[in-house]
Chains A and B, each alone.
Chain A
Amino acid sequence: NAGVTQTPKFRVLKTGQSMTLLCAQDMNHEYMYWYRQDPGMGLRLIHYSVGEGTTAKGEVPDGYNVSRLKKQNFLLGLESAAPSQTSVYFCASSSSGGTYEQYFGPGTRLTVT
């Protein structure tokens, strides 16, 4: 049981390049989330999904797109990377049951130059 995994772990992009971050969970969770973490600002919600085939915007969605074609996977895309998107990105998942506990992936450190 791997929990939540993310690929890649590190990435350096040039301004204007695109990339996709992959999140996978093997806990059969309905809910999945993408956060970004910047120094001194905690975790901010980018996009989320309440089930396969559904996605929605969080608090800071601009510049990002997401897809959830399979229940276990949640992809975060940057179409045209900007230096302001330099951050650590965490994926999380949670069940639809009585607990709100979120399980986090190991994170992806992205630098845009």
Chain B
Amino acid sequence: GENVEQHPSTLSVQEGDSAVIKCTYSDSASNYFPWYKQELGKRPQLIIDIRSNVGEKKDQRIAVTLNKTAKHFSLHITETQPEDSAVYFCAANEITGRRALTFGSGTRLQVQP
């Protein structure tokens, strides 16, 4: 099955700096890669996703890049703000009947004011 590895596990940046979180996946057939943000005590919320036919996608201060050859994708947050502090999860889909997502282990981002 699919295996997703995510790093770093923790990341601390100063307000206004950029943050980058990286993930690798194992199944070359995966074609959907979402990123979820989870605030303390809350549910995971989709913040951005990318499909395998696209190399980069942006939404205001966040962007995701995908390298299919190397089987890795990254989340980029620019001009970080304290409200960006949360745990971020990457995921990759399975091309099977269950249409499940396999999640990375998460990155705790702390933005220092």
Chain A positions within 8 Å of B, measured between CB atoms, are 31, 33, 40-45, 48, 50, 56, 58, 90, 94, 96, 99-102, 104-107
Contact = CB atoms under 8 A, between A and B. Distances in A.
B99 A42 contact: no
Interface residues of B, number: 21
Interface of B: 6, 9, 32, 34, 42-46, 49, 89, 93, 97-101, 103-106
Contacts of A99: 32
Mostly, the A contact residues are loop
B99 A100 contact: yes
Contacts of B100: 33, 45, 48, 58
A104 B103 CA distance: 14
Task: Name which of B42, B46, B98, B104 has the most chain A CB atoms within 10 A of its CB.
Answer: B98
Contact of B106 (A40, A56, A58, A102): A40
Given A42-B106, A104-B43, 17 more contacts: A33-B100, A40-B105, A41-B105, A42-B6, A42-B104, A42-B105, A43-B103, A45-B100, A48-B98, A48-B100, A50-B97, A90-B44, A94-B99, A100-B34, A100-B101, A102-B101, A105-B43
